[in-house]
Each structure stands twice: as structure tokens, then as C-alpha cells.
Amino acid sequence: MSNAFYSQWLDPNMVYSCAYFENGDEDLATAQRKKIDHILTKIRLQPGQTLLDIGCGWGALVLRAAQKFGARCVGITLSQNQFDLATARVRAAGLSDRIEIRLQDYRDITGTFDRITSVGMFEHVGKKNLAGYFGRMRELLADDGVAMNHGITVPDPSDAPMDGSEFMDRYVFPQGELPHIGLVLKTMQEGGLEAFDVELLRRHYAQTLRHWADNFEANASAIRDMVGEKKYRIWRVYLAGCAHAFDTDQMSIYQVVCHKAGNLSSAVPWSRRYIYDHPIGQND
């Protein structure tokens, strides 16, 4: 699907993942900025540190990480459309010396990074590949580094297909696979990473999807003209259906912060206060 299609219903920064509603009444653009700041605060990103964003989409997170947190970033995507727009946005922001966007698979990345984020990407990895995915993350992480995986899960720990999965697989996310949070934590450990902070964002995704669905309805005729009746109807039911699924605990989502297993206990903060000490989502 084209960038123009996504721009009809995503926020202006084109963030295609669950937002963070600190208070619940934020507009979508604010909640997406808050999500990015929430993540970058959670991983304690410091000026001058290197950050790898696996599945960077249209570049919103790396732009914010360089602009507001002073990081040096690499963002990778498999989408040519995303690569083109993200690269143009980095250039327009005058940040080409601090951010590199690459059209690259995470399995082909080399080097070491102080921080790694992956937001709304691991749904494409496949359950049998999860330990390898987290193992790759570990190889790319500095010994004292911090990584964060933000992704969709299912509440049912069995492998039974959930309602609507045939539709999603056929029309929206071919070969996407959603694990239970238990499998995420198990494969993370198998990959050599220790999870130290787990946050449920299910309510936030239900709200995000309601915003997306509202935008979609508001721009229905432009979208129908752009993509045709069939795709219009597929995406319409997908957005509304997922809002319902997150609302009713048929789908879920977690942020998991981790570091290399075997660290001294002093690598873990005493409390979660550092996450809430700073204002998030400010539009400056």
C-alpha cells in the first residue's frame, strides 16, 4: 500500500504501531509522540549513544531519538516506500549526519549498539524464529546495552488460530504470527536476554485503533477512490475488528525491556520512577 494510503488514517508523523495515552484523552499525534518518548525514556537513551531501530517504518522514532535525546541512529526497514520517505524526512530535518536509514533485514545488520528498539516488527518474525531474532538482538547489543521489544501477542497460550486470523493472514498480514507473552519471555531468555520490565498496552492499542478507524471513516471517499472498493472494505473491517479484538482481550500487546542475561543486579534500576520523572510527548 502507498504512503498516501497510510497518510489518510495514521497521525501526521506516520507511526504505524500502538500509541501511548498517558491520560486517555490525548489526540493521536500527541499519543504517538508520547509512545516514542515513553520508549526512549524506558531504555534510558543518553546523548551520543547509538540506537538501532529494527523496523523503523517512516522514521518517527529515530527522528525523535536524534532530535530530542541526542542519539546517533540507524533505522532499518524492508519497505522501499518507507525508506524513501524516512530518508527524505531525515534530510529535511538536517539530521543526515546523525541518522542513517537503511533498506535492510535485521539478520544482515552488523556492529554494536548501545540501545535497540523494535516496535511493531516482531509480528513478522514467526514463532519458530523468535529465539534467533532475540539472539540476533543480543549479538548487536553492547554488553551494558538496553533493548526494548514492543509487539502484539495473543492471550491464548495454545497454538489454536484465533478468530479472524484467516482473514488477517489472507488480506492484511500474510504469514504474520502472534505469540503468547510467555513465549516472548521464554524465547528472549533463550536468545540470551533478560527481561526486566514488562508493560501491557492492550487498552492503548484499542484506543489507537479507534482513532485510526475514525480517521479512516472520515476520509472514506478519498480512500475508496485511491485503493478501490475491495481494499477499502478489507482495511475498514481490519481496523474496526482489531479495535474490538484488543478491547475484548482477543489480542494483546506488550513492551518488554531487556538487557544481556548474566548482568550484575545493579544493571537494573531500583524502581520504575525514572520512566515517569520526565514530561513526555511535548511538541517542541
Nearest by Cα to 173 from 242, 102, 224: 242
Per-residue string for binding with ligand SAM, 69-108, x by CB under 6 A? -------xxxx--x----------------------xx--
Residue 24, classed as helix, strand or coil, is coil
Residue 59 engages ligand SAM in binding (rule: CB under 6 A): no
Nearer Cβ to ligand SAM, position 2 or 263? 2
Residue 256 burial by Cβ neighbours in a 10 Å radius (0-12, 13-18, 19+): buried
Nearer Cβ to ligand SAM, position 106 or 216? 106
Contact 19, 39 (CB under 8 A): no
**258 is known as an active-site residue:** no
Residue 16 engages ligand SAM in binding (rule: CB under 6 A): yes
Per-residue string for binding with ligand SAM, 115-154, x by CB under 6 A? ----xxx--x------------------------------
The grid coordinates listed for 85 are: 520517505
Q: Which amino acid is at 259?
A: H
Contact 249, 202 (CB under 8 A): yes
Residue 93, classed as helix, strand or coil, is coil
The correct pick among 54, 71, 73, 227 for binding ligand SAM (CB under 6 A) is 54
- Binding residues vs ligand SAM (CB under 6 A): 15-17, 54-57, 76-79, 82, 105-106, 119-121, 124
Residues annotated as catalytic (active site), given as ranges: 242
